[in-house]
Amino acid sequence: MIEKGGYISDILQQEPGGRAVAHGWVKTRRDSKGVRFVQINDGSCFADLQVVLDADAFSEEALHHVTTGASVRVEGSLVESPGGGQRVELHASDLHVYGPSDPASYPLQKKGHTMEFLREIGHLRSRSNTFGAVFRVRNALARAIHSFFQRQGFLYVHTPILTASDCEGAGAMFGVTTLDLQNLPRKPEGPKAGSIDYGQDFFGKPAFLTVSGQLNAEIFALAFTNVYTFGPTFRAENSNTPRHLAEFWMIEPEMAFCDLQGDMQLAEKFLREVIAEVMETCAEDLEFFQKRIDSTVLATLENVVQSSFEHVTYTEAVALLEKSGNNWEFPVHWGSDLQSEHERYLTEQVFKKPVIVTDYPKEIKAFYMRANDDGRTVRAMDVLAPRIGEIIGGSQREERYDVLCQRIAENHLEESAYWWYLDLRRYGSVPHAGFGLGFERLMLYLTGMKNIRDVIPFPRTPGSADF
């Protein structure tokens, strides 16, 4: 029979003197004269539970299988620990090994492994100290995000994963089809004779995995005022960088009766409050990141929670970059997109804190952003963070029907594909705004981890979709 409870975190909080049952996987085992000290963990918290096994009380056979990686159930009495490192330890009176683990071939050894190696054992890395901490923080962050929006009265909307529209207009979409790729149906006649006949595909037209839930979120914002999405998004960009995934999670609030100012206020309040909540709920895990991964992580988070973000326009940012005298790999001039090196210079060298850059040239931003009166820029805002670069991308949306039609044409998009999006501008249009936060980018910021592949359970990147 499997008892409910028995979590290591609960047991560590109990006072010595009681009886306890613990389940978990063996982290390490140390043999001393007549006693075996075994550290076990069930993933519930950072600290392991020390189990003390009296060699006389158990058969050789039973003790033999208590090795690193094995899964065990231990029952015993909780006593004050004489050794340092833990407050209590469990003196076992009953031991059961569910599944043994061959210590000679178990890939996860006590010695530190590289992150690259741990990625190759994605089915076991969650049992390591680092990944235990990463995924508890990830869980706490997801909860903090939902709780932030729910506190503010935002409606959680589930936007589709399968879609026929390209929200960002960047073309970096994964196609989804049930057509036989070895034998594609072709149009027999007409102006497009010979081209693929998507009329025979599952949806009767080309379909993709979504790059963003924003356009659907806008539909809901124009009915429920304040809404947010939180779901997976997919981008088939061939960027093999420590900041890009082909599958990542995005949080996208959208607010009706709101302009760029309100959008920026929400972004700042949001980041500040969710970071503060994770710092409170995951103190032990964050301490580990501070000690072992990045010694600046706590000071950085403290700084975000306490100070306000810097605001600059794109034009001001470009001027700062131009007069920096730096020899950029990607030269800067008005009209060029900001690259990671520029974003890092602004946040790390100039302002030493998160920076919100606004009013980008319309040529480098998506079609839906509201045009400014200067005819050159749009009401975009990107939140840039030290070390990470862009963490949030957002904007006020173009709510004027005629201007939106013009922007769709300028971007060589097909107006008919956006008929419903345009309809929102014909029936009860209002100023509205929103943003998208890259969940894994915020995870990088919170943990100090260096590579985005190490803050998502199962990373998907060009050439890699394992586990």
User: What is the binding site for ligand 4AD (CB under 6 A)?
Assistant: 167-168, 212, 214, 235, 244-245, 248, 250, 252, 390-395, 434-436, 438, 440-441
Q: Both tokens of residue 273?
A: 């409050």
Selected range binding Mg ion among 83-91, 183-191, 192-200, 393-401, rule: CB under 5 A:
393-401
Give whichever of 29 and 370 is closer to ligand 4AD, judged by the CB atom: 370
Give whichever of 65 and 235 is closer to ligand 4AD, judged by the CB atom: 235
Q: How far is the CB of 250 from ligand 4AD (least distance, A)?
A: 5
Q: According to the binding rule CB under 5 A, does residue 69 interact with Mg ion?
A: no
The residue number with the shortest CB distance to Mg ion is: 393
Give whichever of 38 and 369 is closer to ligand 4AD, judged by the CB atom: 369
Give whichever of 85 and 335 is closer to Mg ion, judged by the CB atom: 335
Return the number of other C-beta atoms located less than 10 Å from residue 360's C-beta: 26
Give whichever of 6 and 393 is closer to Mg ion, judged by the CB atom: 393
Give whichever of 238 and 295 is closer to ligand 4AD, judged by the CB atom: 238
- Burial (0-12, 13-18, 19+ Cβ within 10 Å), 387: middle
With CB cut-offs between 5 and 8 Å by kind, which of Mg ion, ligand 4AD, none does residue 285 bind?
Answer: none
With CB cut-offs between 5 and 8 Å by kind, which of Mg ion, ligand 4AD, none does residue 435 bind?
Answer: ligand 4AD
**DSSP tag of 186:** B
Give whichever of 393 and 448 is closer to Mg ion, judged by the CB atom: 393
Which amino acid does the sequence have at 177? T
Do the Cβ atoms of 6 and 23 come closer than 8 Å? yes
Q: How far is the CB of 373 from ligand 4AD (least distance, A)?
A: 21
Q: How far is the CB of 84 from ligand 4AD (least distance, A)?
A: 42
CA 406-410-415 angle, 5° bins: 60
Q: Specify the length of the chain in residues.
A: 467
Element (H, E) at 142: helix 129-151
Q: How far is the CB of 384 from Mg ion (least distance, A)?
A: 10
With CB cut-offs between 5 and 8 Å by kind, which of Mg ion, ligand 4AD, none does residue 212 bind?
Answer: ligand 4AD
What b-and-e string marks burial along 270-287, b requiring 16 or more CB atoms within 10 Å of the CB?
bbbbbbbbbbebbeebbe
Q: What is the DSSP string of 61-105?
A: HHHHT--TT-EEEEEEEEEE-SSTT-SEEEEEEEEEEEE---TTT
With CB cut-offs between 5 and 8 Å by kind, which of ligand 4AD, Mg ion, none does residue 248 bind?
Answer: ligand 4AD
Q: How far is the CB of 75 from ligand 4AD (least distance, A)?
A: 45
Q: Both tokens of residue 371?
A: 């045009």
With CB cut-offs between 5 and 8 Å by kind, which of ligand 4AD, Mg ion, none does residue 434 bind?
Answer: ligand 4AD
Site string for Mg ion, 352-391 (x = CB under 5 A): ----------------------------------------
What b-and-e string marks burial along 23-51, b requiring 16 or more CB atoms within 10 Å of the CB?
bbbbbebeeeeeebebbbbbbbbbebbbb
Q: How far is the CB of 443 from ligand 4AD (least distance, A)?
A: 10
Q: How far is the CB of 63 from ligand 4AD (least distance, A)?
A: 47
Which SS3 state, helix, strand or coil, does residue 252 take? strand
Which SS3 state, helix, strand or coil, does residue 339 take? coil
Q: Both tokens of residue 297?
A: 């992580």
Q: Please tell me the count of residues contacting Mg ion according to CB under 5 A.
A: 1
Do the Cβ atoms of 396 and 259 come closer than 8 Å? yes
**DSSP tag of 371:** B
**DSSP tag of 284:** H
Sign for the pseudo-dihedral over CA of 231, 342, 242, 461: positive
Q: Figure out which of the listed residues 69, 132, 393, 431 binds Mg ion, where binding follows CB under 5 A.
A: 393
Give whichever of 37 and 224 is closer to ligand 4AD, judged by the CB atom: 224
Alpha carbon distance 101, 421 (integer Å): 56
By CB under 5 A, name the binding residues for Mg ion. 393
